[in-house]
Amino acid sequence: MVDVGGHMPERRIKDHPVLEFERGNEFYFDYEGKKVKAYEGETIASALYADGLRKFTESKLLERPRGFFCAIGKCSSCIMSVDGVPHTRTCVVLAKEGMKVENQGARPKFPFIEVEKGKRLERDIGIAIVGGGPAGLTAAIIAAEHGADVHLFDEGDKLGGQLVKQTHQFFGSHTEDAGIRGIHIADELIERAQELGVEFHNRSTVLGFYPERTIAVERDNRFEIYNTEGIIYATGAIENFLAFENNDLPGVYGAGGVQTLMNEQGIVPGEKVLMIGSGNVGVIVSYQLIQAGVDVVEVVEALPEIGGYQVHASKLRRAGVPINTRHTIKKALGEEKVEGAIVQKIDENWQPIEGTEREVECDVICIAVGLHPDNEFLRQAGCEMEYIRELGGYVPKRTEDMRTTTERVYVAGDSAGIEEATVAALEGKIAGAALTEEVYGSSKELEKKKEEAKKSLEQMRMGPYGEAPRQGVKMCTVDEEVC
Amino acid sequence: MSDYKSTGVISLDDIEVPSDERLKAGPVVIIECVENIPCDPCVAACPKEAISMDIITDVPDIDFEECIGCALCVTECPGLAIFVVDCSYSDEKCKITVPYEYLPVPDKGEMVYALDKRGDRVQKAEVVNVRQSGKTYGITMEVDKGNVWSVRGLEVME
């Protein structure tokens, strides 16, 4: 059921203390026979959400309603049929005038798209970079600065990866990009890459790796082949999920997904948010929700201590948000969508304490319990992988130069291990420099930049918060001879 | 050390504070940043080199004698953890400058609620200065001197 009419509170943000939303032309598309308003630049999922839709799909067996979750094309929770093509991730496809969007059944039929013979695109290129976030962009920039033929592939319409939703001033060194908001860092990197002649392939999903460094790409329902001299995978991360009763109800969203909807698309997720997890993502997104005018009712944290930086937690407390450690969510309430939650205390052995259950009034439950690297491609490319808890999951073995065990295949950013954007950018620099040297020959200048980046990286990982990545990276870093 | 790890609320025991003499001498910085995180924009923001670090994960080392209380660092700190207090001009009142990134932004002369570190309203206070740097504001309020160590935020009245 689509909730329509004027009684819905306006979900599109008008005034924001940090962001300005310049919406493009207003138009309409068709959703299940109904006209839905959208603005140029909005994804299908965002426009539907702003229109009041909460249920995007349903589970195949029990037909339970499902909402969106990640909002960045990683989870398939928002797939619909768009202009007759099922399994379209509505969160990464822009809405267009007159588009026909439909719910897809349990077993949707795929249309047959005929490709004219000889029309398949096949190209020989220099360096392919998969993923246009901070790691991919810095890799592209350093390679292009040294004359490499660089192609940057990203499945989104815009580049910048998750930087574009990071509205807070960055930590880190003022000699890097600290103090600057992520959104502006993305703009600068994109502009620089463009100036240097990096070829952007947006709306391009890299589907697979074939021997001798050939990649297959899908763009606008077309299949493309690129034979490359070397590849850097900078495909980022996927949000972790959490087991609790009713966790599949629409309204249970990834904190990153909420950040995308709110900071990139300018649409608030709801009115009252319960945040699960007090790591940096949890506390930062909570703060950004308040900035967007949304009430954060509570942050719960299973650990005895807050996971994120004290300064982030302190500003949340100053805004009157309680942070309850040694608490967990027991269940989400509601039938069709989230209408509340039950939270509960847990003891030293992580067991729920009976009698401490408490109902929390909320319409959104945000899950901020960490991320894991998105690097299926590397496994497919034959890279040796290792499970490193400190880096969030399986990561490729790599040299200090970010080279994997597969020849001329490099990795950078969260797909190499979960850290943060400044680290991703430094790893991108290292991988970009090293691969350029391998393909185009060594250079003193590249060597120098690479070593500087390694030094900065080492500094970023100092201190107690750098302990886990420091240990994790040590465990999966191998000598040059191995790779 | 207080229980800030589980509460998010910093106490006076956790931080470096200026001497009573320095507090009486004029505006001075209070930095409520106690963890070894990789961050240093405050060092670059200070025109008097009163904030220093050997490595980026150090806690800011403050030279209260060099600090002139200009509050430039207040709006540069990504953690919004820097404040400036001025206890030099009255027996009853003092001024506190806090970072602010919400809407609406109060005007000079406006009465607001001064909030403590838990977001509780401590008193009504007059905004005596508003300075903008990028999208972050440094808002200076006049509060009762007794609240100098509690007030760290503000809420605009409806």
Whole-Å CA distances, A442 to A137, A195, A437, B44, B62: 21, 24, 4, 35, 45
Chain A interface residues facing chain B, Cβ-Cβ under 8 Å?
15-18, 168-174, 178-179, 181, 290-291, 293, 304-306, 309-321, 323, 325, 422, 459-466
Q: How far is B98 from chain A (nearest CA, A)?
A: 11
In single-letter form, the type of residue at position A259 comes to Q
A183 and A164 Cβ atoms separated by less than 8 Å: yes
In single-letter form, the type of residue at position B118 comes to R
- Measure the CA–CA gap between A49 and A12, rounded to whole angstroms: 10
Q: Which residue, of A326, A342, A371, is where some domain finishes?
A: A371
HEC readout, chain A: CCCCCCCCCCCECCCCCCCCCCCCCEEEEEECCEEEEEECCCEHHHHHHHCCCCCCEECCCCCCEECCCCCCCCCCCCEEEECCEEEEECCCCECCCCCEEECCCCCCCCCCCCCCCCCCEEEECCEEEECCCHHHHHHHHHHHHCCCCEEEECCCCCCCHHHHHCCCECCECCCCCCCCEHHHHHHHHHHHHHHCCCEEECCEEEEEEECCCEEEEEECCEEEEEECCEEEECCCEEECCCCCECCCCCCEEEHHHHHHHHHHCCECCCCEEEEECCCHHHHHHHHHHHHCCCEEEEEEECCCCCCCCHHHHHHHHHCCCCEEECEEEEEEECCCCCCEEEEEEECCCCCECCCCCEEECCCEEEECCCEEECCHHHHHCCCCEEEEHHHCEEEECECCCCECCCCCEEECHHHHCCCCHHHHHHHHHHHHHHHHHHHHCCCHHHHHHHHHHHHHHHHHCCCHHHHHHHHHHHHHECCCCCC
Which residue in B26, B77, B50 sits closest to A169, CA to CA? B77
Is A63 part of a structural domain of the chain?
A: yes
- Residue A482 pLDDT: 63
SS3 B20: helix
User: Both tokens of residue A350?
Assistant: 């992580």
Residue contact B56–A462, C-beta within 8 A: yes
B76 contacts in A (CB within 8 Å)?
169, 179
- Residue A115 pLDDT: 67
SS3 B25: helix
A286 and A314 Cβ atoms separated by less than 8 Å: no
- Among B5, B38, B56, whose Cβ lies nearest the Cβ of A306? B5
Q: What is the mean pLDDT of residues A246-251?
A: 97
With CA atoms as reference, the chain B residue closest to A178 would be B41
User: Both tokens of residue A434?
Assistant: 């090293």
Domain that holds residue A461: 121-238+372-476
Is A266 part of a structural domain of the chain?
A: yes
Q: How many CB pairs under 8 A join A and B?
A: 135
CA angle B20, B26, B32 (to 5 degrees): 70
Residue contact B79–A171, C-beta within 8 A: yes
Number of domains in chain A: 3
Is A415 part of a structural domain of the chain?
A: yes
Residue contact B8–A463, C-beta within 8 A: no
Q: What is the mean pLDDT of residues A184-200?
A: 96
Is A128 part of a structural domain of the chain?
A: yes
Asked if the model's pLDDT at residue A483 lies above 80, the reply is no
Q: Is B138 left (phi over 0), alpha (psi -120 to 50) or beta?
A: beta
Could you tell me the pTM of the whole model? Answer: 0.94
Same domain? For A130 and A226 the reply is yes
Secondary structure letter of residue B59 according to DSSP? P
Q: How far is A409 from chain B (nearest CA, A)?
A: 30
- Residue B2 pLDDT: 84
Q: Which residue, of A371, A389, A424, is where some domain finishes?
A: A371
Q: How far is A181 from chain B (nearest CA, A)?
A: 9
SS3 B21: helix
Q: What is the mean pLDDT of residues A442-468?
A: 94
A169 contacts in B (CB within 8 Å)?
41, 76, 78, 136
A435 and A149 Cβ atoms separated by less than 8 Å: no
pLDDT tens, A281-314? 999 999 999 999 999 999 999 999 999 999 999 9
Secondary structure letter of residue B79 according to DSSP? T
- What lies within 8 Å, CB to CB, of A218 at 6+ separation is A204, A205, A207, A224
């942050």: which residue's tokens? A299
Asked if the model's pLDDT at residue A98 lies above 90, the reply is yes
Is A16 part of a structural domain of the chain?
A: no
- Among A317, A461, A463, whose Cβ lies nearest the Cβ of B8? A317
Is A356 part of a structural domain of the chain?
A: yes
CATH (domain of A281): 3.50.50.60
- Among B4, B80, B135, whose Cβ lies nearest the Cβ of A315? B80
- Measure the CA–CA gap between A415 and A26, rounded to whole angstroms: 37
Same domain? For A298 and A361 the reply is yes
- Residue A8 pLDDT: 59
Percent above pLDDT 70 for chain A: 96
With CA atoms as reference, the chain A residue closest to B103 would be A17
- Residue A480 pLDDT: 78
Is A66 part of a structural domain of the chain?
A: yes
Same domain? For A227 and A270 the reply is no
Asked if the model's pLDDT at residue A164 lies above 90, the reply is no
Asked if the model's pLDDT at residue A188 lies above 90, the reply is yes
pLDDT tens, A314-350? 999 999 999 999 999 999 999 999 999 999 999 999 9
Percent above pLDDT 90 for chain A: 83
Q: Which residue, of A70, A102, A134, is where some domain finishes?
A: A102
Residue contact B5–A168, C-beta within 8 A: no
B7 contacts in A (CB within 8 Å)?
306, 317, 323
pLDDT band at B4 (very low <50, low <70, confident <90, very high): very high
pLDDT tens, B69-92? 999 999 999 999 999 999 999 999
- Pairing label, strands A199-201, A323-325: unpaired
In single-letter form, the type of residue at position A302 comes to A
Same domain? For A360 and A276 the reply is yes
A290 contacts in B (CB within 8 Å)?
102
Is A125 part of a structural domain of the chain?
A: yes
B46 contacts in A (CB within 8 Å)?
none
Can you name the residues that pair with A30 across neighbouring β-strands? A35, A100
